[in-house]
Structure 1
Amino acid sequence: MENGEISYAGKYSAPDYERIVSANCGLAIENTMIYHTPEVKEQLEKFGIPVLVERSSYESDPLARMEWVKLYGILFDKEAEAETFFNEQVQRIRPLLGQDTTGKTAAFFSVTSNNLVTVRKSNDYVAKMIGMAGGEYVFSNLSDNGNNLATINLSLEEFYAGAKDADVLIYNSTIEGKIETTEQLLSKCPMLADFKAVQNGNVWCTTQSLFQESMELPDLILDMNRVLAAESSNAVNEDELKFLTHVS
């Protein structure tokens, strides 16, 4: 943006129509947030600008999310490059798919400011990545509960019952911020001191850019595998990790 290669044209809910039209924009690519302001989509179309709503976030399989790169290959006449890039990413994790499971269980969560715990549903792509990495997601029976959200909020008691004995805890920093120490984690939720993973020092935190880098999902799967396959957190070479950091 500073180099003038791209221009800021307002928020999805309040675009700068004048700038968009004057730039002869030929296509507007929106995520599903646009459905909250349908009048914006209608206005863009009135100006003769077709609107494509990108729905990769609805994919429940990590590879399916990545495969959306092929759509952009079609849009920008880079089909061969997109196909090659996708295949290269898939090949990076293919060796994991034929391996035995690690026998380890994992929870992926964050603690909200109102004392609830946000976890992924059992059919969510993050839960599936844990499985691809050789682990077992502890909340394997969370129902869809009638909405399209990928997450669900549990009470502290429900989370305790499901994750107390998990071998690995992965804290999702993208919602409530990153944590670096066990003290920071326990300040959010003191009862976590009873958890097996906390006592064994096997707690990890995601980077905050995690959900903005969908084409890098193989790196997260490989990170998860390194953590799950290790005998202890001390056996993990943190220099090899891209999306996970150890909570000391």
Structure 2
Amino acid sequence: MKRLLCAALPALLLAGCAARPADAKAEPLTVTGRYPLQYAQQFTIDECAGGYDLVTIDGARYLVLPEGAAVPDALDADITVLQQPIENIYLVSSSAMDPIISLGGLDAVALSGTRAENWYLNEAKAAMESGQIAYAGKYSAPDYETILAADCGLAIENTMIYHTPEVKEQLEKFGVPVLVERSSYESGPLARMEWVKLYGVLLGKTDEAEQLFDDAVQRVAPLEQEPSTGKTAAFFSIASNNLATVRKGGDYVAKMIKMAGGEYVFADLTDSGNNLATVNISLEDFYAGAKDADVLIYNSTIEGEIRTMDELLAKCPLLARCKAVQQGNVWCTAQSLFQQSMELPDLILDMNKVFTEGTPEDSELRFLTKIR
């Protein structure tokens, strides 16, 4: 393996040099404006002369160069250069796949940090099963040989990579740029979805990204004019250690419930000094907070789907006393939910139907199934 890596380094270095055409004239980097974002707070894009884009994520900076453009003179050493077309991406952050697929950019992905059987996105699963995308190891144990052999142009990680910083350093040492996306740190669903604009910039598909995002905003816009339904809801799962996992009050799921016309029963749960969106509480505390809720929504993405009331009550018999259980207003999310990051408006609309119609047919909903 060492021989392969060492042999690959000169080629990578030469490729880096070739990114700057000999006849291209380099100019200093000049910022001309700021790419407009409506909701996202975790990244910015500065527009620069010459069609360059300077992306900043949590202090890390990436300069996206148009194909054939020269690297600007006197560029700050901390700026990572990404020359378009950006190809053979190693996609570790699963939440980035749906925006890339929605943009028609799946061909730019050559490597995945998720195995085929763990994808709920049909296009991603099919691409891996056909060999178009290869499994290259999870974030903490990448297959460096596969990554280098694929001539990887970019690794897209999530913040889990900071638990194994040596992996990030090794990828960069081998000439693979690493972009750490932070969409999960956005506090609202539309802010999370607006990351599609970042992938639009990376893949040269800004018009498509803006149209996709505008369409998503328009889908839920009518709900802004509707009054609150007055319905209360809990969004939760129950772990094998007999604790309930709920979202904090400032989390994007709580905001989706609000956008759908409901009230989140754990809205008062605040940050306890960490950046986690969830908190574990005892089943007794969960029951105390959720017993009078009009709607219970079980999050299947953590512990798997629940299909029957008997399955739910086996996890927590106390729930039999809950108002929503007695009235038959308990729902389960699809396990694909958090991979389908561009479909969050569908979940908001599903919730709105549950809050306004009481018991809509399962066929009318995309991400919620009634527990009977």
With the shorter chain as reference, the TM-score category is over 0.9
SS of residue matched to 1:184: helix
Distance in 1 (alpha carbons) for counterparts of 2:332 and 2:361 = 15
2:42 equivalent in structure 1 = none
* TM-score (norm: length of structure 1): 0.97
Structure 1 runs (4+) deviating above 6 angstroms are none
Counterpart amino acid of residue 37 in structure 1: T
Corresponding residue to 2:176 among 25, 40, 49:
49
Amino acid at match of 1:2: E
| 1:29-108 mapped onto 2 (5 Å cutoff) | 29-108=156-235
Residue of structure 2 in register with 1:127 after alignment: 254
Q: Aligned to 2:325, what secondary structure does the other structure show? A: helix
CA distance in 1, matches of 2:365, 2:352: 10
Secondary structure of 2:156's counterpart equals strand
Stretches of structure 2 that go unaligned for 5 or more consecutive residues are: 1-127
- What amino acid is the match of 2:293? A
Which position in structure 1 is the counterpart of 2:369? Answer: 245
Q: Offset at 1:67?
A: 0.2
Deviation of 1:163 after TM superposition, in Å, equals: 0.8
**Alignment match, 1:183:** 310
Instruction: Report the number of matched residues.
Output: 245
SS in 2 for 1:146: coil
CA RMSD of aligned residues (A): 0.9
**In the alignment, structure 1 residue 163 sits paired with structure 2 residue 290:** yes
CA distance in 2, matches of 1:140, 1:16: 42
> How far has the Cα of 1:50 moved from its partner?
1.0
The equivalent of 2:301 in structure 1 is 174
What is residue 113 of structure 1 aligned with on the other side?
Answer: 240
3-state SS of paired residue (2:246) = strand
Aligned partners of 2:194, 2:140: CA distance in 1, in Å?
A: 27
TM-score by length of 2: 0.65
- What amino acid is the match of 2:282? S
> 1:41-90 CA distances to partner (integer Å, 9 max, x unpaired)?
00011011110001101111100000000000000000000100011011
User: For 1:55 and 1:24, how far apart are their aligned partners in 2?
Assistant: 25
Structure 1 residue aligned with 2:330: 203
| 1:137 counterpart (232, 255, 264) | 264
Q: Which has the higher contact order (CA 8 A, sep 6+)?
A: 1
Aligned to 1:227: 354
Percent of aligned pairs with the same residue?
73
Listed as ranges, the gaps of 5+ residues in structure 1 are: none
Which amino acid in the other structure matches residue 314 of structure 2?
A: S
Query: Larger radius of gyration, structure 1 or 2?
Result: 2
- In terms of mean alpha carbon deviation, does 154-163 or 128-137 score higher? 154-163
2:210 match: secondary structure: helix
- Does residue 131 of structure 2 align to residue 4 of structure 1? yes
* Whole-Å separation in 1 of the counterparts to 2:293 and 2:129: 46
CA deviation after TM superposition for structure 1 residue 154, in Å = 1.1
Q: 1:159 deviation in Å?
A: 1.1
- After TM superposition, give the deviation of residue 30 of structure 1 in Å: 0.7
Query: 1:6 Cα shift?
Result: 1.3
Name which of structure 1's ranges 104-113 and 152-161 shifts more when overlaid on structure 2: 152-161
Q: 2: distance between equivalents of 1:26 and 1:208? A: 31
